[in-house]
């Protein structure tokens, strides 16, 4: 009997964060995740996630738009179709839906999850196989308060959860921001690496001054200091900066990666599956970076556990992760939506080993945080579901 895709669910789930997360363009106190479940006629269910940061303040896709795109444009291309290899299943979507990378990533992840479960192998095997079982993970200090950030970082080091830290700066005067970074680096000393993320807030002149000042402060790297369209500025800055410059928001897929390598516009790539348009596209971005001697860093859109696990499977397959990863998204949320949360210990994340993504949802948590929960769901105590 031919196995088919029978239906697709999409839910927006809003989970509060443990503290405000301050970026250059916005601040968030909850994370809104668009979760996808693809059902097959033989009972296998695949999971995916589409998550952005701060709605439309950060990028051009919102949780609501991701859900609408999947429901109205992608689901009709999949429902009722025979279940085949994910690459072939995605072909009509890629040819009829332009852009919408976050939505495409969510659906691609769910299809790969199904394939892994049916074959009895982890998703990382479908992506080429692992180089590592555990992945180093940094923590972002984004309260904006120097004393709080120092205390938070010291607690992370003491508990052996993180010893690499990224600071979100760019909203304040340059001298204030650098003083904030320098104070944290002094307090942590050599036992911690400190990087900064500007989220496109600087111009070239500010970035040149900032790079010199941050190098003196002991920072290791500056992430996306200039607007994503300013590739010439990024190339100029990369040539002159005393510390590493990383591209993030500017990398929207393999073509951007090629252009950045050709123009020498960065020293490092922040690889994000959602931003690239899916796990396959992100793998291509990383391969292009490696070929161009660009250091690879596993980025995040502050995804919850589903998107984080998918990224972890991909990053486990990469030959090199020179700058580590920042797959801390689930740790920023007050509640985890999994029956068994991902394992973080000894400064690293353990990549799930079970077939597919290797995850099981806690449906009580999902139902509690779903936007449509009051009118559409009934919670059963202790209910869990494998996916």
Q: So which residues are the catalytic ones?
A: 168
Tokens representing 344? Answer: 């973080």
Q: Is residue 368 a contact partner of residue 379, using CB atoms and an 8 Å limit?
A: yes
DSSP lists the bridge partners of residue 4 as 82
Task: Please enumerate, as own/partner, the contacts of 180-187 that have beta carbons within 8 Å and a separation of 24 or more.
Answer: 180/144, 180/146, 180/149, 181/214, 181/217, 181/219, 182/216, 182/217, 182/218, 183/146, 183/150, 184/141, 184/146, 184/149, 184/150, 184/153, 185/217, 185/218, 185/219, 186/218, 187/150, 187/153, 187/154
Its sign, for the CA torsion 334, 302, 387, 366, is: positive
Q: Among the residues of the chain, which ranges form H helices?
A: 63-69, 75-78, 86-96, 101-119, 123-126, 146-158, 174-188, 204-217, 231-240, 254-263, 273-276, 279-291, 305-317, 329-332, 363-369, 373-376
Residues 12 and 33: their CA atoms lie apart, in Å, by 6
Please state at what angle helix 254-263 crosses helix 231-240, rounded to 10 degrees. Answer: 50
Q: Which of 342, 344, 348 is nearest to 360 (CA)?
A: 342
Residues 313 and 282: their CA atoms lie apart, in Å, by 12
């Amino acid at each position: 009997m031919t196995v088919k895709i029978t239906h697709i669910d999409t839910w927006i789930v809003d989970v509060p964060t443990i503290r405000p997360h301050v970026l250059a363009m916005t601040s968030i106190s909850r994370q809104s995740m668009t979760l996808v479940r693809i059902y097959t006629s033989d009972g296998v269910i695949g999971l995916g996630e589409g998550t952005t940061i701060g709605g439309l303040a950060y990028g051009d896709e919102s949780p609501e738009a991701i859900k609408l795109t999947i429901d109205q444009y992608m689901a009709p291309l999949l429902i009722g179709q025979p279940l085949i290899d994910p690459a072939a299943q995605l072909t009509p979507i890629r040819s009829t839906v332009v852009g919408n990378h976050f939505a495409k990533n969510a659906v691609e992840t769910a299809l790969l999850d199904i394939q892994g479960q049916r074959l009895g192998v982890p998703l990382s095997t479908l992506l080429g196989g692992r180089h590592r079982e555990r992945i180093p993970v940094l923590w972002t200090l984004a309260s904006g308060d120097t004393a709080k950030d120092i205390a938070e970082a010291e607690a992370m080091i003491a508990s052996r959860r993180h010893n690499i830290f990224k600071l979100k700066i760019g909203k304040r005067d340059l001298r204030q921001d650098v003083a904030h970074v320098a104070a944290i680096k002094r307090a942590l000393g050599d036992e911690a690496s400190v990087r900064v993320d500007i989220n496109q807030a600087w111009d070239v002149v500010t970035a040149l001054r900032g790079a010199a000042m941050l190098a003196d402060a002991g920072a290791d790297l500056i992430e996306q200091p200039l607007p994503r369209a300013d590739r010439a500025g990024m190339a100029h800055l990369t040539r002159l900066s005393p510390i590493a410059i990383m591209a993030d928001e500017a990398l929207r897929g393999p073509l951007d990666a090629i252009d950045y390598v050709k123009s020498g516009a960065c020293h490092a790539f922040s690889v994000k599956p959602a931003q690239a348009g899916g796990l396959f596209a992100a793998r291509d971005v990383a391969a292009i970076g490696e070929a161009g001697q660009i250091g690879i860093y596993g980025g995040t859109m502050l995804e919850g556990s589903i998107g984080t696990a998918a990224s972890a499977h991909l990053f486990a397959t990469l030959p090199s992760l020179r700058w580590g990863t920042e797959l801390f998204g689930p740790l920023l949320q007050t509640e985890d939506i999994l029956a068994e949360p991902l394992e973080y210990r000894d400064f690293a994340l353990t990549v799930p080993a079970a077939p597919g993504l290797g995850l099981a949802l806690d449906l009580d948590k999902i139902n509690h945080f779903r936007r449509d929960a009051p009118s559409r769901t009934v919670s059963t105590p202790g209910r869990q579901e494998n996916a």
